[in-house]
């Protein structure tokens, strides 16, 4: 099978937590963050981390609020790699293999897989905009040339719609 998600490219594009968070921010908000608590656009960015402060409701937040990536101690680039490996294996990824690939223990790998699989399955059921994950998989099968970042962006969008 031809690889459609290039893990090497993925690691180059998303070497750390910050690069992933910036990617999620862009998918969610574009250039202007929106407070997930009150909907205000009057926010300020913290100087040294990818967090924002809402000047309307006085709460701080990051782009992962209300997504499956919230409150996880696993760095986002490991989540991104897991998502890529899971899609590439067409959901036949074992916890043992994942643990070795992203350097976490087997129990953690198992939990990550369970969380992602549940969310992907939710996304498949609930997406109704015509361009759903099934279509996406078919396109991949037909070897439509998609770039790794495009694929991830598409899937992350779907995941974040349902989480």
Cα dihedral 77, 80, 84, 90 in deg (nearest 10): 130
In the three-class reduction of DSSP (H, G, I as helix; E, B as strand; rest coil), residue 61 is classed as strand
Q: Report DSSP state, residue 33.
A: -
| Per-residue x/- track, 57-96, Zn ion (CB under 5 A) | x---------------------------------------
Q: Between residue 32 and residue 51, which ones bind Zn ion under the rule CB under 5 A?
A: 35, 37-38, 40
Instruction: Enumerate the β-bridge partners of residue 61.
Output: 52
Residues in the interface with Zn ion (CB under 5 A) total 7
Within 6-35, the residues that bind Zn ion by CB under 5 A are: 35
- From the list 52-60, 80-88, 107-115, 134-142, the region that binds Zn ion by CB under 5 A is 52-60
Q: Decide whether 40 or 135 has the Cβ nearer to Zn ion.
A: 40
Q: How far is the CB of 33 from Zn ion (least distance, A)?
A: 10
Rg of the chain over Cα atoms, rounded to whole angstroms, equals: 16
Helix (H) / strand (E) element for 60: namely strand 60-61
Nearer to Zn ion, 37 or 157 (CB): 37
């Amino acid at each position: 099978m031809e690889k459609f998600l290039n893990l090497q490219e993925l690691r180059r594009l998303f070497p750390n937590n910050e690069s992933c968070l910036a990617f999620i921010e862009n998918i969610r908000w574009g250039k202007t963050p929106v407070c997930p608590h009150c909907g205000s656009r009057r926010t300020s960015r913290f100087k040294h981390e990818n967090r924002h402060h809402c000047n309307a409701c006085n709460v701080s937040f990051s782009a992962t609020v209300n997504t499956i990536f919230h409150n996880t101690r696993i760095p986002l680039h490991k989540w991104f790699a897991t998502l890529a490996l899971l899609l590439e294996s067409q959901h036949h990824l074992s916890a043992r293999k994942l643990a070795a690939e992203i350097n976490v223990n087997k129990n953690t790998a198992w939990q990550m897989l369970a969380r992602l699989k549940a969310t992907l399955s939710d996304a498949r059921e609930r997406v109704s905009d015509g361009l759903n994950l099934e279509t996406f998989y078919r396109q991949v099968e037909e070897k439509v040339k998609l770039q790794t970042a495009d694929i991830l962006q598409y899937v992350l969008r779907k995941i974040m719609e349902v989480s």
